[in-house]
Structure 1
Amino acid sequence: MRIIIKHICFLWIVLGTTCMFAQVYNESDDTEPRFTVRGSVIESDTRDPIPHVNIEVNGGAYTTTDFTGDFRIEVKKGDELVIRHKDFETVYYTILNNERITVKVESNEEETEYKQKKFSRRNPNQFKSLIDSAETYLKKDAKRSIEFIELAFIESSSVKENANTYEVLGDIYMFWKQYDLAVSNYRISDQNIKTNTVKLKLATAYKQNNNYQESIETYNEINKKELSNWQLVQLYEGIGDVYLLTQNYQLSIDNYQKGLTVAQKHLITPKITDLNSKIAQVYNVKGESQKAEGYFNRSMKLASTQNKKRAIEEKVKVADFQSANNNYSNEIALRQEALEDISDIENDSILDNESPLTSQKQNYKIGNAFALQNDYENAIPYLKKSIEEADSKEDLIVQKDATRKLSEIYRDAGQFDKALIAYQSYVGLMDKLYIKKEQELSQAARFSKNIVSTQNRILSLESDRALTESKFQLTTEEAKRQKLIIYSLIGGVLLLLITAFLMFKYIKQQRLANNLLALKSLRSQMNPHFIFNALNSVNSFIASNDERTANKYLTDFSLLMRAVLENSEEDFISLEKEIELLELYTKLEHFRFQDKFDYSITIDENINVQDFIIPPMLLQPYIENAVWHGLRYKKTKGRLEIEVTQTASDEIEIMITDDGIGREKSKVLKTMNQKKQKSKGMGNIKKRVSILNEMYKDKVDVFVDDFQDDEDVGTKVVVTLKKD
């Protein structure tokens, strides 16, 4: 009963104090001391004063700058000064004290002049440089980053560069949480050139803009086979996020699991940690805390192997999970561990107040956990520490929450005087927070307005460029027609030249075909000629009843015929094969006319007979003539010599000599029948040599002359062969 009475008394005290404090605060708001602030507006480059600039206090006084650029205006602390002029963008400044204000502005003239230039690229690296600059300022200064994008649109000269520019613009809007504009720009980029990277970004932007069905459709449109392993994990994770937001928990888990499988298979450690953590969060939302705890423990263990910041993040998530499940002791232990690590990373990097890892937030949550266990003695120091840190870091939200919780603890502990002081502080913080939120909303509205204005300027710039390019195309149309006529004439000349070349090539091919046909015909004439002479020899053996000799002769003759027929279709054969044929043929002729001549075949040992090629059956007719028309009619036993020597590195000489009766006596001794028949062997040889030299550029040379000055002058045949 006493406790109830105490609570009622405390409630009346708090209500009364609140009303009094509100009244005092409102009165102090009205009686806030005013003062006159002086300032000037100048150009940043030239430092020239800018006259007639509109100077206005938000909802209050108004003035303009004089010809020296100076102004005076009455304000109070916390007022927002609005500085407007037609030649520069509006400047907003919050009054903190009565110090003199100097506003340096940049004129838009230079930018306007740049945009009015022709759409031609003077420097091929300019576009890339502007895109790099936009990405550099992306997270620092949205306004400046977008200015670089505007200039990049001017420098852009291809569909690919347009797509790249819209993609970066989408990234800027995405970072600054302008999700609808991010969607628009990613879609334009995707329309220019379709890439999986932009598709994934578009799906994420749809999700952030609460277009959940569009997000899932975009994810499903992506061909998974074209994605890298990292992108595939991103895709499954993104789909899981969308299903979680639409409360389709099982599909969310299924997609997270698919992403986890890919990440584990390809050792993508950061994503393994993230997906374990997300699966745990879904199970927690579903009320399956045991499964959630298992995945959280796994994610926390994995995070500990990564960098310290990631490990802290996971500890904080698990601590939130423990808090939601009323496991306050575990929560406190995890947050205390996190606090120790946070002090380390704060030395290396700055955590903004939005981060869940700030020490003021963790101290507040530890104090809250102790309070929920009714352990006020341990709760109070953590809450005081949270308030102190939040105050030093100007984190009004945490300071407000911690102050309110401290007031409630003092109240529950029966320390009403301290509860009252804490509550009064809480009310004051609420008012400060309200003012701050108003300013943030105003700034956000201005930011959104500027962003939309910039987007419209970019779209307008794109339209202007398209119009300029159309005009340029119209002005160059006539020049194109003239060029077309010139190119047509050049094309006609080229066509005639090509036709002439093709005709020349065709004639050359036809001549080659005719030559090949002629060679084939000559070879076909050579074979019967040779066979006829050989069969005459066989006939003479049979006529003389020398069957054994005829049989032996026929055996060697068959070997020779086989070799001749095998080579009959070739234009050239190796010198080695030709010599083998000559040896076999000369052996056969000597076998028949042993009492008429002796022979020798000499080959220079330095010659590699496989390196040289020769038309088949080229030398045989000369040997045949030497035997049949020279040596056969010699009164004494004659001599036939075949000598192969090398005259140069790429040239050999084949000399066939006999000491027979000679060409002139041979003509005289011809029978009437022989005179009636025209000799085809030597004629065919000459024709073959002529055709081959025409086809293969003077490869074979034949020279025929008398061998000596004796009574039997004989004959000398010199055949010169050149290597390929």
Structure 2
Amino acid sequence: MKGDQLDSLERILKHGPIDSAYVETQMAVSRLYHRQGQHGDRCMNLASDAVQHAVDLGDTYLYAKALDNLGLLYRYHQYYAQAIPMHQKAFDLTESLDIPPLSKMIFANNTGVAARHNGNFDVSVEYYLKALAIAEKEQDAKNQEIANNGLGIALMNITGREQEALSHLRRALQIAKASNNTLGQAMNYLSIGSYYDEIGEYETARKYLFELKRLNEGMNDTKGIAITLEAIGNSYLRENKDLPTARTYFERSLKLYEQLNNQLGQATVLSSIGDVFQRNGQLSRALAAYFQAYDVGNDLQNNSMIQSSAELISTVYEQQGDTKRALAYYRISQQYKDSLALHQQEIAISAIKHQYDFESKEAEIELLTKDKQLAEAKLHRRNLIIFAMAGLLAVIFGFGFFKIRVRRLKRRSDELIKRQKDARLKALYDKNLMEAEIIATRMQINPHFMFNCLGSIRFLVEKNENKKALDYLVDFSCFTRRVLEISHRPVHSVSDELKLLDQYLRLEKNRFDDGFSYHIVNEMEQWEERDVIPALLLQPFVENAICHGLSPSNRKEKQLRIVAKSGATHIELTIEDNGVGLAEHRTPQSGHKSMGHKITDKRVDLFNKSYRDHIQWRIENLVDPEDRVEGTRVQIAIFILETQETEFVYPPFRTGVSFN
């Protein structure tokens, strides 16, 4: 039935005139495609076309609805950062227009939801309050309840405003009860119960969850009962005092999900049952539950469920001492984690492209509007001239001269506008393309290091080495906070890079049980504070030195040395280790480069294309006088083009070994 409906609507889109009804149909079809399991990019393309057609029609209200629809699709793909400006613009465009208040409330509430999921809680609260103000003015109980519920959930995440959050949630529940809105009551019981679970008041949380269970039973809502039983089980599981009761509620929830043939619900509950068995030390039964969840994920082709189940299975095998199987499922988990990250990257790049298309289209509309105004002015002048021709022949000749001059000026103006338009669109395209490429390169480097650190912390906790785990966690937090602080800056100073590298090396030294020592020597005399290096450019070289150079080495004293020097026209950074050196098949002469080196090449190339300064690097083995490999050296040169325009030439490499 749904397929026939889509075919019928597609025929309308293929042959119908492009008017407001056509745009409304595009939006409806985009949502229908999204509800299908395999819709490809059709839903996003239709929603994007609807926005552009609404702009062409000059209908502000229709444009706002199309933006809101596109924002919803971004939200459904869990790409909330791109959804926020869509919903936000839809509301801002219509806030002062005479349109149905319900639409304004929808736009504002949708902005609040997207911002809340993205962690922009200040924006979320601002737009929920706008929706609430309109709902109170219109005496719309349903939307008052929705806005109060959203405000409560958003305020929960802002330190110091928890009581205010609870007040809004209780207000939402009160409104739902007064209007006999059982669905609204259920939503607010669940929100309040979740709030008390978050702050550790489990008995109070379950009081609200049992009220929710009674309400769902009264409505004979099987799915609602299943969700509630699962929530009660999770409350007991989080409290970690009465695990048999938690398991009982999970098993009751599982039976209901099986009756409903809700496979995703079954998978999440099976995973929770596995958690109960794991905490009780029943590892074989935990494995059986996790494997059931894993199989459901495979049946549904749900990458997220497959990844989380594989990770849990790997953990249990590791606890059983079966390292071979633990490694196999750990690799499966990583493959799906990388796949999920790549999917998010593709959506991010697609979102940037859509944003570029919209801005280009609006710029084009603006230029067309100016041309229309010029044409109208020209027509008005012609009418005045025709009226004057009846009386004064001399004015005709004067106007002819004036007309020629105006045409010349108009031609020059058109050429200038075209050049400005081309330059603006090209600059916008280059900027967005550069941002997309930076996203792509950073997303290839960071996840593996982050996962290794978290895995090390978990390993220390499992070994009951809690002090080491806490120290490691503090260092990891400092490092990630530092990375976040510099993430908005494409480049920073060598001094900042060395500080960041020192924090990273402390983490790696802890992870390898002090298996190596390192020294960072800063001998720079100038350029130290100049922003000349992309953040974490040195990290892949240092990681390779540790993992592929020092880790497999049999030396008793494994050393890593990083030196920064500067001259009048350049900065030179050197990374040396006394490890096993580069294998023959990995030498620069063989033409092979690791993935880390390829990514570094791309980052360096992007820097050299975008900035005045210039970066070059090279890597080679360290050899002793008898030509035996004694380690590896990486040299990075940053050529300061402020003082000289010729290409930097590396100083001669030393032939001796730096480590004695």
* TM-score where L is the length of structure 1: 0.44
Q: Which structure: greater helix fraction?
A: 2
With a CA cutoff of 8 Å and minimum separation of 6, indicate the structure with the bigger relative contact order. 1
Q: Which structure: greater strand fraction?
A: 1
Larger Rg: 1
